[in-house]
Structure 1
């Protein structure tokens, strides 16, 4: 694990493989950035770091603010704030363009990052997530859940949703996976998880943006996911030009853990299909000055 300070927060992250280089892509290697979901941490991507990090591919996975080893900021954390945090981390690490993947809330952060910084994205991986705006009922439910987490802590919630995050069958036959998922949820700071829920309650619509996505995209979903079912994945795969859809049989909301081999096979095939990297140099000096205290202060569009 490494840590770095970005404006008002400390971020914990893993950075494995690759050969480095001023443009973040070394001497021809790929950079894969993986964004965790709620209420997890970067350890949910440990299997994929083991699979994909190597001399020709660098893999980065960070704890989002409010989770894992990163700073907890109470209140409300929007998808925009998370996206700017990722951009700032990439600047600090000297990385320009990346293959950017995320699961669940992480997938929505990926969509927001693409909205803000399309020039920094080489390809998208959208796992067990959806692109529609939050509904009125959804806003009320997320804010109510935020209140509950602050009141009760993470334990009761973690026990309640474990067999929704992983299927009941997988929770039984894959006890190590179920234990890992339970531990991540129980270990999440309630203030950070609540802040993210309040931010997601304001989630904008990304469906209208899908047709303008101009990079390769892989959409992955567990066949038994009840949070973000296959129908939601099809909206994205059919909306993004030439996107690839991979349905992972027998998996719930966390196919990268429940069906690691199948998930890794789909991701590996997608990465292998990407066109060769073309080097470029972009001056990003002063990027940190565009973001203060979680508030975007730039001419970019607001969500």
Structure 2
């Protein structure tokens, strides 16, 4: 049989293999894509192999908040998974369900199922904290450990409720980009905004990716979040609490309160960092996470 007629088929097979390898990240262990979850399309990035670590971003950001953490943690032996909540980053949501605390938690658990991750170290930054608490109330058996990053267990008081409602109104009236200037003052310290303008530019770009519906839904989640202090007392997995020393959104006293209510938990303050400490002082945050994980044999 002539060899030449087989060549096109061989090229097709090779091309398909190469495309599949590129999507999966080849030997790097990187995967990226969108998953159909609960009627939404949820974008995820998975880097590395080993003990799974799922990181949940805050409002109104995306999984790229953890872009300075994924590779470093993966290099230490973890499979680091980040997602964009519905309507944020590269995720989309149906108009009928732009987002709620229960939906965000259900989405995250469903992503774990789709990626064949029975259990993981689960971390949440800011709004990601209440989402992680909801996941724990729903499925505590899915947790190997818990990381709480610049977040809060208390319900929102009247003043904070008005702040979030104002954010929702601003996004509705002027668009997602209108939230960036005010939020950046909270996310990054003044020194970082002055000396590392690229950090502010990157976070601004992330904020601008959100949809108006997602900004409204997320603000409502934060304004109406339940009291999770009782949940803290039920947490039995190793827990790390990371807090920017200059966080003015949820100041250190809230992290101290969480530490006092979670048996055996560890609190690490990161000097010179504001609300986005995991991004602003990524090297220090990564080291704190690795030290804690190793101390608790989470490998």
- TM, length-normalised to structure 2: 0.85
1:194 equivalenced with 2:225 (yes/no): no
Distance, in Å, in 1 between the alignment partners of 2:76 and 2:244 is: 30
Query: What's the CA shift for 1:15?
Result: 0.8
Distance, in Å, in 1 between the alignment partners of 2:63 and 2:160 is: 26
- Among residues 86, 90, 111, which one is paired with 1:89 in the alignment? 111
Distance, in Å, in 1 between the alignment partners of 2:89 and 2:110 is: 18
Distance, in Å, in 2 between the alignment partners of 1:84 and 1:103 is: 17
Distance, in Å, in 1 between the alignment partners of 2:295 and 2:209 is: 37
Partner of 1:293: none
Distance 1:185 1:231, change over 3 A: same
Could you give the per-residue CA deviations for residues 15-36 of structure 1, whole angstroms, max 9, x where no partner exists?
Answer: 1111xxxxxxxxxx31000001
Structure 2 gaps of 5+ residues are 1-31
Distance, in Å, in 1 between the alignment partners of 2:65 and 2:87 is: 16
Partner of 2:45: 14
Q: Describe the SS at the equivalent of 1:272.
A: helix
Q: Describe the SS at the equivalent of 2:192.
A: helix
1:130 equivalenced with 2:161 (yes/no): no
Which moved further from structure 2: 247-256 or 142-151?
Answer: 142-151
Query: What's the CA shift for 1:125?
Result: 0.2
Q: Describe the SS at the equivalent of 1:53.
A: helix
Contact 2:39 2:93 in 1 (8 A): no
- Among residues 229, 237, 243, which one is paired with 1:221 in the alignment? 243
Contact 1:16 1:58 in 2 (8 A): yes
Q: What aligned pairs does 1:184-263 form with structure 2 within 5 A after superposition?
A: 184-263=206-285
Query: What's the CA shift for 1:174?
Result: 1.7
Distance, in Å, in 2 between the alignment partners of 1:268 and 1:276 is: 9
1:164 equivalenced with 2:164 (yes/no): no
Could you give the per-residue CA deviations for residues 112-134 of structure 1, whole angstroms, max 9, x where no partner exists?
Answer: 11111101001000000000012
Q: What aligned pairs does 1:1-303 form with structure 2 within 5 A after superposition?
A: 1-18=32-49, 29-54=50-75, 56-74=77-95, 77-275=99-297
Query: What's the CA shift for 1:178?
Result: 1.5
Contact 1:99 1:123 in 2 (8 A): yes
Query: What's the CA shift for 1:259?
Result: 1.1
Query: What's the CA shift for 1:219?
Result: 0.3
Distance, in Å, in 1 between the alignment partners of 2:91 and 2:246 is: 31
Deviant stretches of 4+, over 6 Å: none
Higher helix share: 2
Distance, in Å, in 2 between the alignment partners of 1:68 and 1:193 is: 11
Distance, in Å, in 1 between the alignment partners of 2:227 and 2:291 is: 29
Distance 1:276 1:168, change over 3 A: closer
Greater RCO structure (CA 8 Å; 6+ sep): 1
Could you give the per-residue CA deviations for residues 19-75 of structure 1, whole angstroms, max 9, x where no partner exists?
Answer: xxxxxxxxxx31000001111111111111110114832110011001011113446
Higher Rg of the two aligned structures: 2
Contact 2:98 2:213 in 1 (8 A): no
Contact 1:72 1:189 in 2 (8 A): no
Distance, in Å, in 1 between the alignment partners of 2:158 and 2:275 is: 23
- TM, length-normalised to structure 1: 0.84
Distance, in Å, in 2 between the alignment partners of 1:81 and 1:201 is: 16
Could you give the per-residue CA deviations for residues 260-285 of structure 1, whole angstroms, max 9, x where no partner exists?
Answer: 111111011011122366xxxxxxxx
| Cα RMSD after superposing both structures | 1.6
Q: Describe the SS at the equivalent of 1:183.
A: helix
